Amino acid sequence: MGIYVITGGTTGIGAIVREQLLEQGHEVFNIDYKDGDYCVDLSTHEGRESAISAVIGKYPDGIDGLICNAGVGPTAPPRVIFSLNYYSSIRLAEGLRPILKKKKGNCVITSSNSITNMTVRLDWVNMLLSGMSEERVMDFAQDIPREQSASCYSSSKHALARWVRRVSASWAVDGMRINTVAPGNTTTPMTKNLTEAQKDAALLIPIPTRYGQREFLDAVEIANAIVFLSSKLASGINGVVLFVDGGIDALLRSERF
């Protein structure tokens, strides 16, 4: 059995992933803001570095998988969205890469199916991917109006998916895989508090696999995909953005793949 590290494994999709891995007999180390095996704020540079040090110290001989799932939704402040959704994932992936390499492990990162919608700001995406310091990006984000948080969210996830694609070949050279899952609207603690108006807006385009039903995807459907990609059953899959959205992306972009 393997050793897996997950961020955001206390509630929602992450909790189901953790439970499934434990049921399969794996050891799972959960990094979260609260109720984790290691509790830390991953939106901060200090928090990420301490988490990386803790994992390396606990598993010096290597880990089999890293699942970067921690994140916030499109209503959070822009600074938090960029720092937690984007920077925490890429920093942990790169920081733990040496011990993943020891066991030829893999990484799965949670993005979002919003990476293809019209709220994405490609100038913000390019800013995140440009190598500009996080400090400068945070200074920029400080001035983004809160009503543009949805664009910050989709842009942070778009940048994350592109980053995964960019680095996948170099990871493969070292015997590792890295992929991302792009969930659609899913029932989680984050979405259970939506107002009826917000839910109506989210379901303005019906989810094909839920056609005729006023409901989101189940969190277990997303977790199943993450666990699959992190397993040896997915050994031939690398650099993939796997949409787990009930067919929304295919519906809206049927001529692209």
Can you spell out the DSSP letters for 87-128?
A: IHHHHHHHHSHHHHHHTT-EEEEE--GGGGSTT--HHHHHHH
Q: Could you list the active site residues?
A: 153
> CA gyration radius for the chain?
17
For residues 126-139, give the mean pLDDT. Answer: 96
Walk me through the domains of the chain, giving residue ranges and CATH numbers.
3-184+219-246 (3.40.50.720)
38-47 CB contacts, 8 Å cutoff, 24+ apart: 42/7, 42/70, 42/84, 42/88, 42/92, 43/80, 43/83, 43/84, 43/88, 44/83, 45/134
- Tell me: the pLDDT tens digits for 144-193? 999 999 999 999 999 999 999 999 999 999 999 999 999 988 776 666 66
Which of the four pLDDT bands, split at 50, 70 and 90, describes residue 48? very high
Q: What is the dihedral of CA 143, 147, 150, 151, to 10 degrees?
A: -50
Give the pLDDT confidence score for residue 14 in this predicted structure. Answer: 96
Give the pLDDT confidence score for residue 184 in this predicted structure. Answer: 86
Give the pLDDT confidence score for residue 145 in this predicted structure. Answer: 95
For residues 118-142, give the mean pLDDT. Answer: 96
Cβ atoms of residues 38 and 51 within 8 Å: yes
Amino acid at residue number 68: C
Question: DSSP assignment, residue 54?
Answer: H
d(CA 2, CA 7): 17
Give the pLDDT confidence score for residue 193 in this predicted structure. Answer: 63
- Tell me: the pLDDT tens digits for 60-98? 999 999 999 999 988 899 999 999 999 999 999 999 999
Terminal Cα distance for the chain, rounded: 35
d(CA 257, CA 255): 7
CA neighbor of 223 nearest in space, from 251, 208, 242: 242
Give the pLDDT confidence score for residue 200 in this predicted structure. Answer: 61
d(CA 166, CA 51): 25
Which of the four pLDDT bands, split at 50, 70 and 90, describes residue 197? low
- Tell me: the pLDDT tens digits for 207-255? 888 887 877 888 999 999 999 999 999 999 999 999 999 999 999 998 9
